Amino acid sequence: MNSIDICKVSLGINSYKIFIGKDIHKSLTDYISNYKNYSKTVVISDKNILEKNPSLFNNYLNKDIEFDQIILPQGEKIKSFKYLELLVEKILKLEVDRDTLLICIGGGVLGDLVGLASSLILRGLDFVQVPSTLLAQVDSSVGGKTGINSKYGKNLIGSFNQPKSVIISTDILKTLNKRDVNSGYAEILKYSFIYDKNFFNWLVKNGKKVISLHTESCVYAIKKSCSIKSKIVSIDEKEKGIRELLNFGHTFGHAIEAITGYKNKIKHGEAIFIGMHLAIKFSSFLKICKKDVLEKYSSHLENLKINYKLSDYNIKISPKSFLRHMKFDKKVKNNKIKLILIKDIGSPIRLFLDNEKLLSNFLKNELK
Ligand SMILES: NC(=O)c1ccc[n+]([C@@H]2O[C@H](COP(=O)([O-])OP(=O)(O)OC[C@H]3O[C@@H](n4cnc5c(N)ncnc54)[C@H](O)[C@@H]3O)[C@@H](O)[C@H]2O)c1
């Protein structure tokens, strides 16, 4: 038996467990409670994952389990009404009933789409997340946010829909390309910045091992990130308070993703590296941040050879367009942008921006 770590997301009757291990995929259904009670299982994955892991389904599901499979294209473009409709129709065609279980084996994109579909079909089917990217393992598979994008902004259409369990097997990351591994590291770094300075110090020592997918370091970073997210989500499922801290770097990052059209030019995690850098710089600009924070952030990523500036990605955005997209983000109330900024590593603050001119001047200076 492999060693397995378990985190719990405590949400009353919607509580669930996150199972984390090196190689727990061989017996997926052991981690799904009352699996035998489901009338049908539909496994959804993407084409790219299957090309890289041709035996994925055989390896992932116990040999004696019957299931239907749906394979979608890969990429952020599937977080759209077009693919939501396609997926929903494909699932309905299988004559599913309310006791059907959906299992999503994929990255954050697929997880967000399948989670949304599962909340809509027959007014709600159970679903299980089997995250297959580092980003999905440390962040998107936990917490129940589902969604698709709009031309007005990222994740603007969605629901809160908690999975029945999250099953994380680090072995599946072996086929992930370097860019996607690094992209996942953005959310790990985010957890250290919003919650735990000691975790940041650990990352300074062990970050290289994490992005090299060294098993013990990866399991530790995943466990730490999932446990921070579980604690936050258990307190504030619907993002009325503390959960907003998880958006550190995201209001800037989402604007970058929306402006670049959700293309492969910039991945979600890459946009978040830039977004966190801008959020720290803006915190310094407003004089609410300790001096060494920016230096620590930059030198850590430079050590890891990870890009974190817009210019590194050859992207030019006008300050006007940047500001307009930041205002389309969900974190706007009464026309005021809500930003998660940072006082020190591990000490974030929420700020409603009364004076938009400040942000506009900051962006003009940063984007010239
Ligand atoms: N719901 C949430 O709380 C939440 C949180 C953070 C991010 N997100 C969302 O997550 C998305 C980004 O997720 P992502 O970075 O996982 O991207 P992704 O899902 O697009 O996956 C990245 C690439 O990796 C491939 N891939 C997946 N698993 C693989 C494997 N094991 N081996 C080889 N290739 C594999 C995919 O085919 C894809 O090409 C964004 O849309 C973002 O908005 C959601």
* CATH code: domain of residue 336: 1.20.1090.10
Query: Within this chain, do residues 359 and 280 fall inside the same structural domain, yes or no?
Result: yes
User: Do residues 61 and 43 touch, judged by C-beta distance below 8 A?
Assistant: yes
Query: Within this chain, do residues 68 and 123 fall inside the same structural domain, yes or no?
Result: yes
- Active-site residue, selected from the candidate residues 76, 182, 190, 239: 239
- Active-site residue, selected from the candidate residues 250, 277, 281, 331: 250
Give yes or no: 145 in active site.
Answer: yes
Query: Within this chain, do residues 301 and 235 fall inside the same structural domain, yes or no?
Result: yes
Cα–Cα distances (Å) from 116 to 18, 132, 160, 161, 302, in that order, read 19, 18, 8, 7, 37
Query: Within this chain, do residues 162 and 184 fall inside the same structural domain, yes or no?
Result: no
Query: Within this chain, do residues 248 and 352 fall inside the same structural domain, yes or no?
Result: yes
Q: For the chain, what is the radius of gyration of the CA atoms?
A: 20
Could you give the number of structural domains in the chain? Answer: 2
Q: Where residue 63 falls among pLDDT bands split at 50, 70, 90?
A: low
* CATH code: domain of residue 87: 3.40.50.1970
For 167-188, what is each residue's pLDDT tens digit? 999 999 999 999 999 999 999 9
- Give pLDDT, residue 265: 86
Give yes or no: 247 in active site.
Answer: yes
Residues 137, 143: Cα–Cα separation, whole Å = 12
Cα–Cα distances (Å) from 17 to 14, 210, 227, in that order, read 10, 23, 11
Burial class (CB in 10 A: 0-12, 13-18, 19+), 50: middle
Which residue segment(s) compose the domain that 343 sits in?
Answer: 179-212+214-366
For 306-319, what is each residue's pLDDT tens digit? 999 999 998 999 99
Place of tokens 């994008």: 149
Query: Within this chain, do residues 270 and 135 fall inside the same structural domain, yes or no?
Result: no
Query: Within this chain, do residues 322 and 245 fall inside the same structural domain, yes or no?
Result: yes
Which of 114, 146, 175 terminates a domain? The answer is 175
pLDDT mean over 287-297: 96
Cα–Cα distances (Å) from 336 to 139, 200, 201, 280, 342, in that order, read 27, 31, 34, 19, 18
For 96-139, what is each residue's pLDDT tens digit? 999 999 999 999 999 999 999 999 999 999 999 999 999 999 99
Other Cβ atoms within 10 Å of 253 Cβ, number: 28
Pocket probe mutation, ligand 1, options 112, 173, 254, max atoms within 8 Å of Cβ: 112
Which of 152, 175, 198 terminates a domain? The answer is 175
Give yes or no: 95 in active site.
Answer: no
Ligand 1 surroundings by CB, under 6 angstroms: 46, 48-49, 52, 74-76, 79, 106-110, 112, 132-133, 135-136, 139-140, 143, 145, 155, 172-173, 175-176, 180, 183, 267-269
Highest mean pLDDT, choosing among 148-157, 196-205, 323-332 = 196-205
Angle at 60 between CA 55 and CA 63, to 5 degrees: 90
- Active-site residue, selected from the candidate residues 154, 164, 224, 229: 229
Token representation of residue 225: 């990130």
- Active-site residue, selected from the candidate residues 123, 287, 333, 368: 123
Which of 151, 175, 199 terminates a domain? The answer is 175
Query: Within this chain, do residues 186 and 132 fall inside the same structural domain, yes or no?
Result: no
Residues contacting 242, CB < 8 A, separation 6+: 232, 235, 236
Query: Within this chain, do residues 163 and 183 fall inside the same structural domain, yes or no?
Result: no
In ligand 1, the atom with minimum distance to the C-alpha of 53 is 32
Whole-prediction pTM value?
A: 0.96
Pocket probe mutation, ligand 1, options 109, 155, 264, max atoms within 8 Å of Cβ: 109
Task: State the amino acid at position 360 in one-letter form.
Answer: S
Query: Within this chain, do residues 242 and 348 fall inside the same structural domain, yes or no?
Result: yes
Query: Within this chain, do residues 249 and 356 fall inside the same structural domain, yes or no?
Result: yes
Query: Within this chain, do residues 152 and 220 fall inside the same structural domain, yes or no?
Result: no
User: Do residues 7 and 223 touch, judged by C-beta distance below 8 A?
Assistant: yes
